[in-house]
Amino acid sequence: MVLKLYAVSDGPPSLSVRQALTHLDIPFELISVDFGAGDHMTPEYALMNPQKEIPVLDDDGFFLSESNAILQYICDKYKPGNSLYPQDPKARSLVNHRLCFNLSTFYANISAHTMAPIFFDYQRTPLGLKKVHMALDVMETYMQRLGASYAAAGHLTIADFQLINSVMTLEAIDFDFSQYKKIHKWYNDFKKNYPDLWKISEDAMKEIQHFAANPPDLSHMDHPIHPIRKIKK
Ligand SMILES: N[C@@H](CCC(=O)N[C@@H](CS)C(=O)NCC(=O)O)C(=O)O
């Protein structure tokens, strides 16, 4: 049975999985989850992912969430030995490190500043901005120390997808990160060198830009955590 990917069109974790599947030439059915309609908050969705988050991979009834785990699984199961997820323990550990760094710090800090205030009733704050710069500063240091043109190796890996999509959300809000020279070059090189993969990010960026200019009305949503913006009607 063909793999099914439950995904949103503008969420970095979903984009990274789509990019890996595309790059590895693995056929999959893309099932669009309507975030605004709360498709992911239903009891049926919770059977696939009790965290009620997107994406979810369905491999013939084996349900996997957490985009990092999905990326690792598809490489190991469908393209073992592919350089996107190296086998050598040290090389692999650097990829795993960057995936953990993105999840715990880089995307966490960036998305709180970029995405959360677009979709929910959060404000951008000086502390949030400071955390973005801290994340960028650390990433810049990792790139300097590695001395390679990619985030975790001398070639493209699954870590690049996650980190690129985090940076993409900065571009979506016109955040100037050109002072981070290594990041800036790596991000722009990705656009040039992988136009088909970048297109997946770029389409999402345009959607995010649209929502930034036209904040979505989620006032019907009863979200368990995020404050919903009140819309005057
Ligand atoms: N750590 C998860 C995060 C996934 C995630 O946060 N997805 C967002 C959409 S981009 C989501 O499902 N949010 C649920 C919500 O806010 O209700 C992963 O990497 O897959």
| 205 and 105 within one domain | yes
| 96 and 209 within one domain | yes
Instruction: Determine, yes or no, domain membership for 220.
Output: no
230 falls in which pLDDT band (50, 70, 90)? confident
| 206 and 102 within one domain | yes
CA of 68, closest atom in ligand 1: 19
Q: Cα separation of 174 and 73, whole Å?
A: 34
Which residues have C-beta atoms less than 6 Å from ligand 1? 8, 11, 13, 40, 53-55, 65-67, 103
| 67 and 109 within one domain | no
* Residues facing 62 on adjacent strands: 59
pLDDT for res 233: 65
Instruction: Determine, yes or no, domain membership for 221.
Output: no
Pairing of strands 56-59, 28-32: unpaired
pLDDT for res 194: 98
Domain count, the chain: 2
Residue after which a domain boundary falls, among 12, 45, 78: 78
| 194 and 137 within one domain | yes
CA of 12, closest atom in ligand 1: 10
219 alpha carbon to ligand 1 midpoint, in Å?
A: 19
pLDDT for res 113: 98
User: What are phi and psi for residue 119, nearest 5 degrees?
Assistant: -95, -30
User: What mean pLDDT is predicted for residues 105-129?
Assistant: 98
Instruction: Determine, yes or no, domain membership for 132.
Output: yes
CA of 226, closest atom in ligand 1: 16
Residue after which a domain boundary falls, among 26, 46, 78: 78
Residue after which a domain boundary falls, among 24, 57, 78: 78
The answer to whether the beta carbons of residues 135 and 169 sit under 8 Å apart is no
* Residues facing 31 on adjacent strands: 6
CATH code of the domain containing 108: 1.20.1050.10
Is the pLDDT confidence value at 28 over 90?
A: yes
| 130 and 40 within one domain | no
Q: Which residue CA neighbors atom 15 of ligand 1 most closely? A: 53
Instruction: Determine, yes or no, domain membership for 230.
Output: no
pLDDT for res 121: 96
36 alpha carbon to ligand 1 midpoint, in Å?
A: 13
pLDDT for res 209: 98
| 192 and 128 within one domain | yes
CA of 66, closest atom in ligand 1: 20
Instruction: Determine, yes or no, domain membership for 228.
Output: no
| 102 and 162 within one domain | yes
Total residue count of the chain as it appears in this document? 233
Query: pLDDT per residue over 43-96, tens digit each?
Result: 999 999 999 999 999 999 999 999 999 999 999 999 999 999 999 999 999 999
Q: Which residue CA neighbors atom 11 of ligand 1 most closely? A: 53
Range of the domain at 64: 3-78
84 alpha carbon to ligand 1 midpoint, in Å?
A: 23
The answer to whether the beta carbons of residues 106 and 135 sit under 8 Å apart is yes
Instruction: Determine, yes or no, domain membership for 232.
Output: no
Query: pLDDT per residue over 169-199, tens digit each?
Result: 999 999 999 999 999 999 999 999 999 999 9
Mutate to test the pocket of ligand 1, among 54, 70, 115 (most ligand atoms within 8 A of CB): 54
% of the chain residues with pLDDT over 70: 100
Q: Cα separation of 82 and 157, whole Å?
A: 9
Q: Cα separation of 230 and 233, whole Å?
A: 9
| 178 and 154 within one domain | yes
| 138 and 71 within one domain | no
51 alpha carbon to ligand 1 midpoint, in Å?
A: 9
CATH code of the domain containing 36: 3.40.30.10
Q: Which residue CA neighbors atom 6 of ligand 1 most closely? A: 53
Query: pLDDT per residue over 135-144, tens digit each?
Result: 999 999 999 9
Question: SS3 string of the chain?
Answer: CCEEEEECCCCHHHHHHHHHHHHCCCCEEEEECCCCCCHHHCHHHHHHCCCCCCCEEEECCEEEECHHHHHHHHHHHHCCCCCCCCCCHHHHHHHHHHHHHHHHHHHHHHHHHHCHHHHCCCCCCHHHHHHHHHHHHHHHHHHHHHCCCCCCCCCCCHHHHHHHHHHHHHHHCCCCCCCCHHHHHHHHHHHHHCHHHHHHHHHHHHHHHHHHHCCCCCCCCCCCCCCCCCCCC
Decide: pTM greater than 0.85. Answer: yes
Q: Cα separation of 15 and 87, whole Å?
A: 24
Instruction: Determine, yes or no, domain membership for 62.
Output: yes
| 167 and 102 within one domain | yes
Q: Which residue CA neighbors atom 14 of ligand 1 most closely? A: 53
User: What are phi and psi for residue 31, nearest 5 degrees?
Assistant: -110, 115
231 falls in which pLDDT band (50, 70, 90)? confident
145 alpha carbon to ligand 1 midpoint, in Å?
A: 30
CA of 55, closest atom in ligand 1: 20
pLDDT for res 125: 98
Is the pLDDT confidence value at 232 over 90?
A: no
30 alpha carbon to ligand 1 midpoint, in Å?
A: 17
Instruction: Determine, yes or no, domain membership for 162.
Output: yes
| 103 and 67 within one domain | no
